[in-house]
Structure 1
Amino acid sequence: MTGGYCLTDTHTGKLYIGSATGEEGVAQRWGNYLDCKHGGNKKLIALYEQKGAEYFEKYFTYILLEYFGLSYDPIKILEREQYWKKCLDTIRNGYNDN
């Protein structure tokens, strides 16, 4: 499945909104986070460099906000990602950079 998701830092309350539109969907994307902790995102990389992997293992939770079939329009998924970033104000008050 594809869709939008939210990572929550339960220590600070900060959120990160992301989406998965690839062939392997959300499972593959979350696997990236579990492997490297930051998923290649700027603010999460900075947090990782400051706090280390243990911080992510202890304080981060993963929530699926919306899910769609693998054939769902990826542009619409990205639009929904932007919608959630605005609703939850994660660019100014969370870990999203754009």
Structure 2
Amino acid sequence: MRRKAPGSLSDLALLLNAAHVEMTPEASPKALEQALQWISDPPDAQILAEALEARADWLVTHDARHFLTLPPDALPLRVGTPGDLMGWLRQLLIQQAG
């Protein structure tokens, strides 16, 4: 966001706050083992394990090779690009307003 839309950083901060985004601790070995079933790259599997263990709604990434090729309904969370998340948030706000 800082590079592509620096003027939107304050809006992003408001959205993250409204969405109750939070940091989580490192995933357990069990969660990592589960994530390795989907992603063979250990550092990326760690990221997925932490998202799964935190019961995240979304995992936002530009990593097309490891994350964006996963089947859409394979995981209990949505995986997409920042643009995918922003589109989803936009639709959610439109639905709430209407």
Shorter chain as denominator, the TM-score bin is under 0.3
Structure with more strand by fraction: 1
Higher relative contact order (CA 8 A, sep 6+): 1
The structure with the larger Rg is 2
TM-score normalized by the length of structure 1? 0.25
